[in-house]
Every structure is written in structure tokens, then in C-alpha cells.
Amino acid sequence: MQQHIPFSTTYRPHIVKKLSNTFFDLVVVGGGITGAGIALDAASRGLKVALVEKGDFASGTSSKSTKLIHGGLRYLKQFNFVLVREVGKERAVVHKIAPHLVQPEKMLLPLLKNGHNGKLLTAAGLKMYDWLANVKSADKRKMLTPKQAVNLEPLLASKKLIGAGYYAEYITDDSRLTLENIKTAVKYGATALNYTKVTGFIEKNGKVCGVNVIDVLNEQNYSIKGHYVVNATGPWVDDLRITNQPNQLKQLHITKGVHLVVKHSKLPVQQPIYFDVNDGRMIFAIPRGDVTYIGTTDTNYVLSKDKIEVTKTDVAYLLNAVAQMFTNVKLTEEDVISCWAGLRPLIHKKGKKPSELSRKDEIFIAKNQLISIAGGKLTGYRKMAERVVNTVVKFHKKQHKSKFKECHTHQIPLVGNLFTSFTDVKLYADKIYNYLKADGFFKNDAWYLISHYGAQTEHILRYYKTQKLIDNKAKLIAAECEFCIKNEMVVTPLDFFIRRTGRMYFNIASVTQYAPVVVNVFTKYFSLTKAQQETMLNEIHQSVRDHTTFV
């Protein structure tokens, strides 16, 4: 492994210098899960890799998914067995490389009288799902009677039920998964930087050999050179492809997906539930800490990709879906305490509705060798990365006679994973709880730290001990923020509150409460003026409003 510059905003000038002074084997554009996976795959095979992201890492779709590492049961309905097999198997792999971050969870699929999922077909479908994904016997699906289903989930209306399926999935934090991939890539020598936007391409002899970028924080332009460039910009893939070769046809079909968050007490589901609604679509209701989140919608989208709004129609659709399924639950718009909206970068197919479009990924290679990757799922990111890097390595071999290792990311534990199994993760959580309980913390607080940072929790606890605040909760958040500034390239408090900690979605009250604490930590590290502190606080409050306002 090469010596690397610390992955910290305080080292930004050093990283910029390295990006502009090095000739890379591969330049990756886009710091979502796709770019992150590619950077790790390539760096671990021995390629010299640069990755740039125009906003914060994972600020595109990769912080706005349903946060499931799942086989995609509904793709069975589209007869997409290849996709189900690949992503189904990937679940276990991604769990193995980050068991603290990708946790097993049972999913309940209620079957309704006059519903869209029949009993026999669902039983057969789930069996095939387990078989395609090679699921261990202990985790294989069970078919439940209505009584068994209601025992598990008292919120279900027993009169409407004809049974339920109960099967294995995994739950994650998409932006942390992205970030830990990037941090692991950096450990293998990659150079990655956020707030760095690609504005154009450099060409030599008709081949792309670098990118022009602008540092979004100080508006400085510079270029990054390398043998190959991969465009992994998700919903923005076509924008860059068009910049690259203006007469190229558009290929993406963007659809919007919205999630709503309510207090768990308002929708107290006992485990994740996957249920069908009148229009034949499927919706998830997933408990997480003190909240339940509900999603998603799937509608065509042509507006701004940088400011995606949640509409009153989106909210009404999801609340109506909940009302249909849980007849005793009464939710209104006022119950929604946070929300998020993301864009699916799907491959266009004429005549297909949003939810009928395939989630399969595709690689496009332009005449000037710009390699673009679009489509796909969070779950399949590692295999997508393998395919892209195989393409790059093939070019390298042919054009530069260079040789690199085979893909081995299935064996690379992500940063934060020092665990041998999920049981080990739980034991570690107990150890952290034992350490914290004297200070008034609960098991949930320990679990929050472990499921976000894994074994890095101990670094946070070291910072915790040095905080000079009175309130222990404020001390812990300050410590978390210090850790993220020093090790996770946090540039703004919103990077911290949205993508490092998920608090904006899952604990929005804590954002307002601890905004001054976090701004104080920023002040310490970046010597902020009073006016800058004020601006930061205003940005946080504006973002809280954005996450609770529907247009």
C-alpha cells in the first residue's frame, strides 16, 4: 500500500496538488457508490486512481435510496433472473466486507385478498429468489398464515390478509457505504476529492486523457490527467457524455423516488414491510431507530437534478399507500418529519413506464474512449465496478502493455470493519455500550455509533474524552464531527448532518438542537469568523426547512 495524504479537508491543498501533478492510470468522475466502487476496485488492483465529485461524496442518488442491499424481488416479475441472481448473491458479499454497515433484516411481505401478489406465485417466487441468491437454509423464506403474520405485525388488518412471505434482506446506510468504499480506495493509494466539478475533457490524438475541473470551494480551475476517464455520474451521465461528444443521443431515463419519515410511534411497524398498493406498485415501510420511513414513488423526472423537490402529490401518494395497507393508522402531512428525493439513472427503453424499466447497468464507450457507466443498483455496485475496471485494464493491456491484478474486492474489508461476523459486531456494540452507559447513554446510542462507524467508534470515543462540554450528548456529537473532519473530508455541517450521520433524515430534531455545537467544531478547525458561523447556522436551518417542506 502507498503512503497517502490524510483524508481530511484540512489537507485539501495537498490533495489538489497531488491531483494536478500526477499522471493517473484512471480518473473517475462521480463520488456516488458507482464511482466509489470503481475507485476501490481499480486502486486495489494496482492502478493509480483519481476520483472527483462535484458536491459532497454520495450527494447524488447514493444518499437517497431506500437503503436496502436487496435482491430486488420485483425484478423476478420482470423475469430478470440474471439481475436477481447477481444482486442476490452480492448481498452476502457486501455484508461480509462491512457487517456493521450492511445488516441482515427480515422483510415481511403481506399478501392481500384482491392484492397483486398471489399466495402460490409468491411462495414460488420467494423460493426462486432464495435459490438464485444462494441463501443459507436458516435464512430461507417462510410462508406465514394470516394469524402468524398478524402475530409478527399487529398493525396488519387480519381481515384483508391471505398470508405473508417472510424472507431475508439487508439494510444499510447508502452514503456511509459509499464513503467507506472511498476511504478504503484511499487506503489503497487512490486520491479522492469532493467539491471538485469536471467541466470538460482533455483530448490527445482523438482520445480522452484527462479532465478539466473547477474547485467549487475557491473557483480555481486545474486539470487532472490520466490514461483513461470513467464517467460514473449517475443521473448526470448524459450531461457529461454530451459535453464529450455533442451529437451523442441521450440514453438515460431519469425517474424520481421519494421517501417520507414519520415518528415510529405514528407507524409502529415491528420490522421492514414490503406491500403492494392499488396501482400495482410496491412500497416499503422500514423502522429505523425512533422513526419509520416509507417509500418510494417512481415518476418520470425532467426538472433540475441539483434541487429535487418533494411535492404534495408525492406525499399524498405515499400516505394513501400507508392508509390502504394499515387501516388503523392515520397519517397526515403534518406527521411527516423529514423526507428525501432521489433520481434513478435508468437506461431508457421506448414505451416502458418508470417502474417497468430495467435496473440493469450498461457500459458505454465513446469513440474517444470516454467510458460511461449508467443504470444499476446500490446492491450491485461491486460487480458493476469489476466490469468497468475489467474494461479499463483491457485497454491498458492493449495500449500500454501494463498488467494489473484481478478483481478481489470481495475479500477487502471496508474501513471500519475489524469484525469476523455479525455476532462479533453485536459483541462490540455491547462493549461500547458498557463503556458509555455510565455517562447516561443507551444501547441505541452505542448501536448508532457501531452501525455508522464500525470499529472506528473507538477513535470517536477518544475525541469524546477530550471535549470540554458539559452535556454528554453534545460532547459525543462534537467528537463525531471532529472525527469526520479529520478522517472523512467533511467540508460543511450539512455533509456531516446529512451524509456522514443521516441525522437530517432519521433524527432531524437533533440537527436543530446540536447545530451550534457542530458549527463550534467547524470554527475550531477552520477559524471561522462570526459572519461565517452565522451563514453556516442559516444553511443548516434552511436545510431543515427543505427537508420538511413540500411544494
Task: Indicate the DSSP class of residue 57.
Answer: T
Q: Using alpha carbons only, what angle is made at residue 50 by residues 46 and 56, rounded to the nearest 5 degrees? A: 130
Asked whether the beta carbons of 233 and 216 are under 8 A apart, the reply is no
Q: Could you say which of 88, 125, 210, 345 contacts ligand FAD (CB under 6 A)? A: 345
C-alpha cell at 319: 400516505
Least separation in angstroms between CB 234 and ligand FAD:
2
54 near ligand FAD, rule: CB under 6 A: yes
Which residue, 117 or 196, has its beta carbon nearer to ligand FAD?
196
Question: Given the rule CB under 6 A, which of 322-330, 371-379, 408-416, 430-438 is the region that contacts ligand FAD?
Answer: 371-379
Least separation in angstroms between CB 200 and ligand FAD:
9
Asked whether the beta carbons of 517 and 474 are under 8 A apart, the reply is yes
Least separation in angstroms between CB 397 and ligand FAD:
26
29 near ligand FAD, rule: CB under 6 A: yes
Among positions 482-521, residues that touch ligand FAD (CB under 6 A) are none
Least separation in angstroms between CB 432 and ligand FAD:
27
Distance CA 134, CA 140 (A): 9
C-alpha cell at 534: 452565522
The interface mask with ligand FAD, positions 293-332, x = CB under 6 A, is ---x------------------------------------
Least separation in angstroms between CB 198 and ligand FAD:
4
Residue 348: phi and psi, rounded to 5, are: -65, 140
C-alpha cell at 452: 455508522
Q: Could you say which of 31, 287, 416, 493 contacts ligand FAD (CB under 6 A)? A: 31
Q: Could you say which of 236, 428, 447, 505 contacts ligand FAD (CB under 6 A)? A: 236
Which residue, 310 or 407, has its beta carbon nearer to ligand FAD?
310
Distance CA 288, CA 264 (A): 8
The secondary structure of 453-519, three-state, reads HHHHHHHHHHHHHHCCCCCHHHHHHHHHHHHHHHHCCCCCHHHHHHHHCCHHHHCHHHHHHHHHHHH
Quote the crossing angle between the two packed helices 174-187 and 33-44, to the nearest 10°. Answer: 20
The interface mask with ligand FAD, positions 70-99, x = CB under 6 A, is x-----------------------------
Dihedral of the CA atoms 305, 311, 313, 317 (nearest 10)? 80
Which residue, 27 or 432, has its beta carbon nearer to ligand FAD?
27
What 77-86 contacts at long range (C-beta under 8 Å, 24+ apart), as own/partner pairs, is 77/125, 78/356, 78/358, 80/358, 80/359, 80/360, 81/132, 82/360, 83/358, 83/359, 83/360, 83/380, 84/129, 84/132, 84/133, 85/132, 85/133, 86/380, 86/383
Question: Given the rule CB under 6 A, which of 158-166, 233-241, 286-294, 475-483 is the region that contacts ligand FAD?
Answer: 233-241
59 near ligand FAD, rule: CB under 6 A: yes
Helix, strand or coil for residue 548? coil
Least separation in angstroms between CB 172 and ligand FAD:
8
Helix, strand or coil for residue 168? strand
344 near ligand FAD, rule: CB under 6 A: yes
Q: Could you say which of 7, 9, 16, 34 contacts ligand FAD (CB under 6 A)? A: 34
Asked whether the beta carbons of 229 and 370 are under 8 A apart, the reply is yes
Would you call 246 exposed, middle or buried from its count of C-beta atoms within 10 A (0-12, 13-18, 19+)? Answer: exposed
Number of other CB atoms surrounding residue 126 within 10 Å? 23
Output Rg (C-alpha) for the chain, integer angstroms. 23
Which residue, 345 or 493, has its beta carbon nearer to ligand FAD?
345
Which residue, 146 or 376, has its beta carbon nearer to ligand FAD?
376
Task: Indicate the DSSP class of residue 3.
Answer: -
Least separation in angstroms between CB 474 and ligand FAD:
31
Least separation in angstroms between CB 17 and ligand FAD:
19
Asked whether the beta carbons of 224 and 210 are under 8 A apart, the reply is yes
185 near ligand FAD, rule: CB under 6 A: no
Asked whether the beta carbons of 276 and 112 are under 8 A apart, the reply is yes
C-alpha cell at 248: 451523442
Task: Indicate the DSSP class of residue 24.
Answer: E
Which residue, 66 or 492, has its beta carbon nearer to ligand FAD?
66
52 near ligand FAD, rule: CB under 6 A: yes
Q: Could you say which of 9, 44, 65, 244 contacts ligand FAD (CB under 6 A)? A: 65
Q: Could you say which of 122, 184, 244, 379 contacts ligand FAD (CB under 6 A)? A: 379
Question: Given the rule CB under 6 A, which of 42-50, 121-129, 342-350, 492-500 is the region that contacts ligand FAD?
Answer: 342-350
Which residue, 382 or 475, has its beta carbon nearer to ligand FAD?
382
Q: Could you say which of 24, 41, 51, 53 contacts ligand FAD (CB under 6 A)? A: 53
257 near ligand FAD, rule: CB under 6 A: yes
Which residue, 255 or 457, has its beta carbon nearer to ligand FAD?
255
Q: Could you say which of 16, 27, 33, 347 contacts ligand FAD (CB under 6 A)? A: 33
Distance CA 13, CA 5 (A): 10
103 near ligand FAD, rule: CB under 6 A: no
- CA 157 to the chain's CA centroid: 33
Which chain residues interact with ligand FAD by CB under 6 A? 29-35, 52-55, 59-62, 64-68, 70, 197-198, 232-236, 240, 257, 296, 342-345, 376-379
